[in-house]
Structure 1
Amino acid sequence: MKSGRLLSILLLLQTRGRVPARELAKRLEVSVRTVYRDVDALSAAGVPVFAERGRHGGIELLAGFRTDVTGLTADESRALFVLAAGGAHAALGLDAALGSALRKVMAALPAPHRPAAEATSRRVLVDATRWKRGPGPEADLDTLRDAVFADRRLRLRYRHGGERETRTYTVDPYGLVAKAGVWYLVADHRGAPRLFRADRVHAARLLDAPVRRRPGVELADVWERLRRQVEERPGGIDVTVRVRRDRLDLFLRLNAPWLSDLPRDDGRSEWLTARLSYGVLGEVRHLLSFADRVEVLAPPEAREELARAAVAVTRLYDG
């Protein structure tokens, strides 16, 4: 709705100062022309907003202008209280601050919406950690967090997966990303975007030098590029399997990161077919944990890999 978009523009300008029209258009998912029409509408309504064209131009409010917006809708009020409990905020040392902030938001909410918001916090819980995730090394986020918030360069001693020795990197952080319960540092190394898994950082030290980020590049942009590189990297393998119905729920929980096609359930069949996408062929071996409740149908090399693994296990226990 246009009224919601106008309010969003007003809040963005109030918190960010001057914002390029193109950035506003991207955030609001509209055209630049629509943004300028909205700015005209705000100006006609008495809001002191103006646009300055040119390379360093943008849209901004008259200095000192503030507005107190309290007209949250019921759904907006609920949305504020759907939060990841015991996860990202606690890891960053912000759980106490989050609780305090929510209490302030609750006090500022329109009275009719307070019961719904409070009920949402008790009825909806978001847990980003995968099922059956085994114990792994704890990530020390303190130094990484300090570097991100202070805009400082970092010196890392980092161990890559499959390697025993650590390597040293000097990086320029963009920020931290929590994905499925795993923290990652997104940073540039020698001007190129890199992804560092936080629990593989053996040591981190803040440098006195300020961070050197590429102009106009934001954390979300770098993360999207790196995420696509991981998910679309060459050399992967697509595997088709069939799963017995009595193990379907467990199969879906344990294989969620690799599922590319969910089983079609007709409610009658004993076996259901699913598709998985692995980075390397050897990852298919974890399906042996389902014994005869999961069968790999294709490709042939995946069946052969499981057969070799099964023979090796049989020899081990026959001995």
Structure 2
Amino acid sequence: MNRSCIAGTGGYLPERVMTNAELEALVDTSDEWIRERTGITQRHIAAPEQTCSDLADAASRRALANAGLDAGAIDLVVVATSTPDHVFPSTACRLVERLGMPSGIIAFDVSAACSGFIYALDVADRFIRTGGASRALVIGAEVFSRILDWQDRGTCVLFGDGAGAVVLEAGKEPGVLSTHLHADGRQTPLLNVPWGVSQGYERLADERGKVSMRGNEVFRVAVRTLGALVDETLEANGLARGDVDWLVPHQANIRIMMATARKLGLPPSRMVSTVAEHGNTSAASIPLALDQAVGDGRIRRGDLLLLEAFGAGFTWGSALIRY
């Protein structure tokens, strides 16, 4: 059976940078408060005319170039997003058109909030392992600023926009060793956007389709859940904590990230952290962090990577990868 190996990575961040100082003028907060509780100093915000597919397009082209491939070599596209261009068609289908991919390709979106990229990676890996695809483009892309209440300091200080992508291809070398996905819908009220199309447009005026989160409660569940996920992933592969070279976590909050690193016994220097510069970019955060660490030479071929995420749903998941 084939394994799926990472052939290339790419990322894109919108040009506009919003600092904590700008947020001080919008809500009752401060740069010090945001840094201490989240580790975030700035985030990127998409221009009014930029869509999710715009960001995904830019990240995808960079990933393809990094892999030395053109778009015609891809036979599967999976986009993880909570902020798609349209209800339908999928952002993945929009991306197929934009990249000039051939007719007949497999393309679809995955919705699992901040865990979306791990879910999408798992799906693409299964296609490759079973022979359903030979090369896959997997993207996490978000314009999360569009669903933020800029008067809610508990959420608007956290999120940013961006896109990250990886190219997976079939190979015999160790690549994606295992993936582990989970969900629990019983705690939906803790983190959600409380409006959807099927509920009727009359509700939009009241609820505005914005993110609602009980931050302290989400934090507690995330730390506990991710700790158990680390153990599950290592045990499934017969590995010890010290075998992991790099932790590439979802960039939600520096305190959650550090708690997971401590669980692994990894020093902060072995955890890829972009949360200070990017904020929480939801499904885009892991591929963006991975691309940065590959690009600057920290992550090298042969390194063992643990990717993990926790998001609304609740959803959570991990991927263990020999890069």
TM-score, normalised to structure 1's length?
0.23
TM-score, normalised to structure 2's length?
0.23
Structure with more contact order per residue of length (Cα contacts < 8 Å, sep ≥ 6): 2
Bigger Rg, structure 1 or 2: 1
